[in-house]
Chain A
Amino acid sequence: MSNPLKDMEKPDVIFCIGTNMTECHPVAATRLKKAVANGATLIVADPRRIRLAEMAHLYLPLRVGSDTALLLAMAHVIARDGLIDQEFVAARTEGIDRLLEHIRDFTPEWAETITGVPAADIETAARLYGRADRGAIYYTLGVTEHICGVDNVQSLCNLVLMTGNIGREGTGINPMRGQNNVQGAGDSGAIPNNYVGFQSVSDPANQAKFTALYGREMSLEKGPTKVTALDRCGEQIRAMLIDGENTLVSDPDRIHGEHALRSLDHLVVMDIFLSETAELAHVVLPAAGWAEVDGHYTNTERRIQRVRKAVEPPGEAMPDWWIITQLAQKMGIPGFDYESPKAVFNELCSASPIYAGIDWDLAESGQYQWPIPYKGHPGTPRLHEDGFINGRGKFMLIGYRDPAEVVSADFPVWLTTGRRLESYHTNTQTGRAEGIDYLLPRETLEVHPADVDAWGLANGGLARLSSRRGSVEVVVEATERSPRGTVFCSFAFNDVPVNILTGSGYDPITQTAELKVCPVRVEALIEEEIGLVA
């Protein structure tokens, strides 16, 4: 997030797109509710009539995968109606003229034909955001899990730069990170293109720095992403170490993923449970989990916070840092003689320009948000206050593209996937909590009541959901949360492995899967058929 969480109470106009915040980031959503109670205007763009949409002053029910068209038309209206912050644009951006030329034809009427959102509502949204003193954008995976995820984010950046809604309290462009430490994983260098602290692996200066630090020659060539690596399993990729990820259930195109992991010569999994992924491993190493280890998480607002051991791990389970240290030592890799997570964290900080101002003891307070470039620096709750790191903000020329797969005669329904309030991801943890089991005992397919009738389904009855990659069976729930022609299912329950269906395409830059769009066919399962299946 460009801005701190506490800023969520400060905007006068809030634009939420592709974020089911009340279910996926409930505590952050309470701040938005406060802002709305205090008079802020809430605009929500989402294919589903989620709780946030119910709260909105203006709800834009766009077709799944059509975000770019909506955002292009909003940029068009902001320009057409003279809502550009000329002072900000002149001082801090470049490329406005090319952008204005580019967006001239992307009218709200054009966007209506793609998104299904009335042109008048697109105009209202653009005017509300464009006239805001403090306009803030919040988004989540509904924006990024598309073949055009990067296009969507850059389209949002264009709106931010046109209106100067950045670098001030209550503004900004704010992705909500989904996992407790997914920000920290990227910060720590667990990505194929950057060392710790987002230092590019392609930069010879960084190569020299880490060659010295790690005691061996580092490649200048960035590594393949996980998606590519899974594609290459059994060919270029022969051995894999997976820490705490249920790859098989969380990732798209499950049948392909299972085949990939099975084709490895050697798979080692560290986890707290024998997950579906761990069941395929040659070696399973029992890890200490949450409340059993000391260390740090970095949250969605870039805040580095200490986590502490409160109980002993069960049996012989050990902390992940210890396991990796021991594995490295067995392999004769130098530089792994750490005696505590404190020693690991201090090395991480000293090698990272954005953590350089802290160490284990300073991080104790939880007050620091990166970048903290030097000791004595107070941290950076709000990014881009005085300027952009790379100079001027660049307007990007984005075009609309259809999703990788679109609805057809064989697969006439849009499926979109996501999470639910009571369950978390693949349910390895929340599926083992009695109270949660009571609240959310099973997965359902959310279908508009009129579609339930039109497709011959029954509320509470079983349906077969099929895509080009496979099919799953799921209980139907009639609900107006789903628009006509679009159905929703979460990926939390292993008995409804919805990721058998997904995986139609990937963003060409990030290789993030288009988990939010998958054309499917929905068929009622009659009782005799259920009997045969059972």
Chain B
Amino acid sequence: MQNPIPLMEAGITKTRSVCGYCGVGCAVDVMTRDNRIVGIQPAMDGPANEGALCVKGQFAYDFVHHPDRLTRPLVRRDDGKLHPTTWDEALQIAADGFLRAAAEHGEASVYGIASGRTPSEADYLMQKWVRAGFGTHNIDNCSRA
């Protein structure tokens, strides 16, 4: 008799990753088809979880494909509202604002808050942006709240 499991998994790609919720660091296989997540499996060989996973890690992945996701840069125009724009313009307005603050109020007037949710690569670059950009240590992350 044919094993039904390969049929269920037809066309599904598994990508080994780590759950994005709490700090336990459960290894998971993200199951995808046609650029969409269709399931999460706990990794039996995950060093932190050894095959276990909680209700959030197992099921709370709908947010990834949620229609509320931000898909374009937004800038606040003269009408006081946020409007979609290009990456180039959004980054330029962002950059100009920081340079203006530093020029008018000193380099210590710029502050960065890094995330406890992003990969370390983003945290490292956030702190480097503050330190290499302004020479200060005006950087923190969400660990105090």
Q: 1/0 per residue B108-121: CB within 8 Å of A? A: 11111111111111
A285 touches which of B21, B57, B90 (Cβ 8 Å):
B90
Pairwise interchain contact A424-B56, C-beta atoms closer than 8 A: yes
Q: From residue B143, how far is it (CB to closest CB) to chain A in Å?
A: 5
**In whole angstroms, what is the CA distance A300 to B25 when docked?**
7
CB pairs A–B below 8 angstroms (29 shown): A27-B53, A181-B23, A181-B115, A181-B116, A182-B141, A183-B23, A186-B143, A188-B120, A188-B124, A190-B112, A214-B131, A219-B135, A222-B137, A225-B144, A229-B113, A244-B118, A271-B70, A273-B63, A284-B74, A289-B20, A299-B24, A305-B18, A306-B18, A310-B37, A315-B71, A321-B122, A347-B124, A424-B60, A511-B144
Q: Is the CB–CB distance between B138 and A314 below 8 Å?
A: no
Give me the 3 closest cross-chain CB pairs, A-B, nearest first. Answer: A315-B71, A295-B119, A299-B25
Q: Is the CB of B49 within 8 A of A27?
A: yes
A222-270 contacts to B, CB under 8 A, are 222-227, 229, 236-245, 247, 250-252, 265-266, 268
- The answer to whether A190 touches B135 (Cβ under 8 A) is no
A326 & B137 in contact (Cβ 8 Å cutoff): no
Taking the complex as formed, is A367 at the interface, i.e. its CB lies under 8 A from any CB of chain B?
Answer: yes
Could you say which of A6, A182, A241, A333 contacts B23, with CB atoms under 8 Å apart?
A182
CB pair B138–A223 under 8 Å, yes or no, is: yes
By size class, the interface of chain B is 35 or more
Chain A residues lying within 8 Å of B35, measured Cβ to Cβ, are: 311-312
Closest-CB distance, B3 to chain A (whole angstroms): 25
Task: State the Cβ distance, A437 to closest chain B Cβ, in Å.
Answer: 9
Binding site for B on A (CB under 8 A): 5-6, 24-28, 30, 176-193, 195-196, 201, 210, 214-219, 221-227, 229, 236-245, 247, 250-252, 265-266, 268, 271-274, 278-279, 281-287, 289-301, 303-312, 314-321, 323-328, 330-331, 333-336, 338, 341, 344-345, 347-348, 366-367, 421-422, 424, 428-430, 432-436, 439, 510-513, 515
- C-alpha gap A315/B85 in the complex (Å): 13
When A219-B135, A327-B91 are in contact, do A421 and B119 touch as well, CB less than 8 Å? no
Contacts of A241 in B (CB 8 A): 94, 98, 110-113, 126, 129
A184 touches B123 (CB 8 A): yes
Map CB proximity to A onto B21-43 as digits: 1 under 8 Å, 0 otherwise.
Answer: 11111110010100111000000
Which residues of B are at the interface with A, using a C-beta cutoff of 8 A? 13, 15-27, 30, 32, 35-37, 47-49, 52-57, 59-66, 68-76, 82, 87, 90-95, 97-102, 104-105, 108-133, 135-145
| Residues of the B chain whose Cβ atoms lie less than 8 Å from the Cβ of A300 | 23-25
Q: A190-B114, A190-B127, A282-B75 are contacts. A182–B70 as well, Cβ < 8 Å?
A: no
Chain A: CB-nearest residue to B43: A366
Question: Which residues of A sit under 8 angstroms from B19, Cβ to Cβ?
Answer: 180
Which residues of A are found within 8 Å of B119, using beta-carbon distances?
181, 184, 293-297, 307, 320-321, 341
Q: How far is the CA of A285 from the CA of B144 in the complex (A)?
A: 24
Q: Which residue of B lies closest to A315 (CB)?
A: B71
Q: How far is the CA of A190 from the CA of B69 in the complex (A)?
A: 26
Taking CB atoms, residues of chain B closer than 8 Å to A298 are 25, 120
- CB < 8 Å: which of A187, A238, A252 contacts B110? A238
Are A289 and B64 in contact, CB atoms less than 8 angstroms apart? yes
Residue of A nearest to B20 (CB): A290
B23 touches A176 (CB 8 A): yes
